[in-house]
Amino acid sequence: MEKNKWMGMFWIMLVFTGWLASPALAKDVVIKEPPKSLDKFYPPAAKEPKWIQIMHKMSGHYGGIFMNMKVKDWENVDKHAQGLADAYEEASKMVPEWEEYFDVKAAKEFVTAAKTHDPKEIGAASKSVGKTCGKCHDDNLVAVWTKYHWPSVEHMKLEDPIDEKEMEYGKYMHLISNSFKGVTVNFGDGKKDLAAKAAKDFKKRYMELKSTCSKCHTDQGVKHFFVGESVEKALDGLSEELAKDKPNPGAVWKNVGIVGSQGCKKCHLTHRAYAVFQEIWEDPAEAKK
């Protein structure tokens, strides 16, 4: 594949090491940006998510074949087999870059197999079609979710409660990250007073993240997580300990640990993976780093 085709791609290497560590067992998962031509089957270009609709159509017919086969309603088996083949052929023409994933011949053979009314033949023919569904899903589902379903933080702005400066979400992350280090590094270096001051600013900056949740969530209940009581308590505990003449290092690090794992880490595990892919697709140069 020529070089520029690799641009905009993101690689995840899942290397299965362990008791049978061998390069032959390495498995690569590639999260590749979906082709542009898919845009027209999703909002805002399309009124409705047409790609998902044709998926439901195929899936309904596919299920309909087996449901009716069980009760020997052969008329409906034939109807759904034809319906599947038609929808499948239609889908195969929607995204030229994905044409290869489809095996239209197999779908037509499935219709012929259905007409035998022999469950063995129907089962076998369904497998050749089903395989093609699974292959495309394995390759493209996560990429499509990233591009068309996961809301981007790219245009979100936050105001720093300390400096009252407005900034992008990613920049704000660097700010709270540095603010957090202002606590941990200063305390580690024995500069207790600086750490105590940094902890106050850090708490304000951290809790400001609460203002962002409603940009994507309507359920206020999500605020129990990451920015909820347990992290707030740890932030308060941190400040209280650092305000003492002789802070107890065990108590300081314990609270630092809670913020890091219940706050930063857990939020990153739920929200950051998609943002990483989106950012790389936004700026192909990133992919080479």
Binding residues for ligand HEC (CB under 6 A):
51-52, 55-56, 58-59, 62, 88, 98, 101-102, 129, 132-133, 136-137, 140-141, 144-145, 148, 150-151, 153, 169-170, 173-174, 176-177, 180, 206, 209-210, 212-213, 215-217, 222-223, 225-227, 259, 263-264, 267-268, 270-272, 275, 279
Largest CA distance in the chain: 86
Give me the least distance between CB of 261 and ligand HEC, in Å please. 10
Give me the least distance between CB of 54 and ligand HEC, in Å please. 8
Residue whose CB is less far from ligand HEC, 125 or 209: 209
Q: Where do runs of H (alpha helix) occur along 17-144?
A: 50-70, 74-92, 104-116, 119-144
Residue whose CB is less far from ligand HEC, 107 or 196: 107
Burial, 20: exposed, middle or buried (Cβ in 10 Å; 0-12, 13-18, 19+)? exposed
Residue whose CB is less far from ligand HEC, 26 or 265: 265
Give me the least distance between CB of 113 and ligand HEC, in Å please. 15
Amino acid symbol at 284: P
Tokens of 117: 């009314």
- DSSP secondary-structure letter at 223? G
CA gap 231, 189 in Å, rounded: 24
Q: Are the beta carbons of 287 and 8 closer than 8 angstroms?
A: yes
- Report which secondary-structure segment, H or E, holds 168: strand 166-168
Residue whose CB is less far from ligand HEC, 26 or 236: 236
Give me the least distance between CB of 49 and ligand HEC, in Å please. 6
C-alpha distances (whole Å) from 132 to each of 23, 105, 144, 221 are: 27, 12, 17, 40
Give me the least distance between CB of 60 and ligand HEC, in Å please. 9
Residue whose CB is less far from ligand HEC, 167 or 194: 167
Q: Supply the Cα-derived Rg of the chain in whole angstroms.
A: 27
Residue whose CB is less far from ligand HEC, 25 or 166: 166
Give me the least distance between CB of 3 and ligand HEC, in Å please. 25
